[in-house]
Structure 1
């Protein structure tokens, strides 16, 4: 990954801080599985065992402020999706200097992950 695209350390810290909490990590993992189509806030709450909507909103807001997810309105629902490019940058940040920057396997993984745009296929 070229240095201009390399995630800044402060952004990486904000991202890790946001997912260093059980509910938010579970939400990120659910949204990764949901893919580009994302998931409605109500569905997220249901899959988390029916947590209070105010708690789910708090966690979603924290993830959105950290730049890990985005929301869009679909009728009366708010749909949340992972920002795959941010996750890609986070992985690249961790692995950038793997094997002193000479690991063809890490480079290939970073390159493939960076291709995932994670956008709905409307």
Structure 2
């Protein structure tokens, strides 16, 4: 991941509703969640949530899949891993033992 892509992703996550939607989608895993359900769970107006989801999509953090008449959103786990790797790239100046607690904290507990 390059700096520009990382900045776009971080900017997308830098808004409360988008961050909550992203975290909800991370919890949902590979099944994703229909757009209307995301709005409902977060107490957001559907067209506003749609705009937020488009920002996350443009940042490459989520993707939309059509499921009949429903649009289901899923986290792009490769992009998520790339962002985490970018942020941790130069971690601890070559002392990986200092980074181990962070690595354990972000390891999937599925």
TM-score (norm 2): 0.87
The correspondence for 1:53, drawn from 46, 50, 54, is 46
Q: Would you identify which runs of 4 or more consecutive aligned residues in structure 1 move more than 6 Å?
A: none
Greater relative contact order structure (CA < 8 Å, 6+ sep): 1
Gap regions ≥5 residues in structure 2:
none
Partner Cα separation in structure 2 for residue 61 and residue 85 of structure 1 = 18
More helix by share: 2
* Residues 1:8 and 2:17 are matched in the alignment: no
* Number of residues of Structure 1 aligned to a counterpart in Structure 2: 106
Partner Cα separation in structure 1 for residue 40 and residue 18 of structure 2 = 14
Partner Cα separation in structure 2 for residue 100 and residue 18 of structure 1 = 28
Gap regions ≥5 residues in structure 1:
1-6, 117-122
DSSP-derived class of the 2:30 partner: helix
* Residues 1:86 and 2:79 are matched in the alignment: yes
Which residue number in structure 2 is paired with residue 39 of structure 1?
Answer: 33
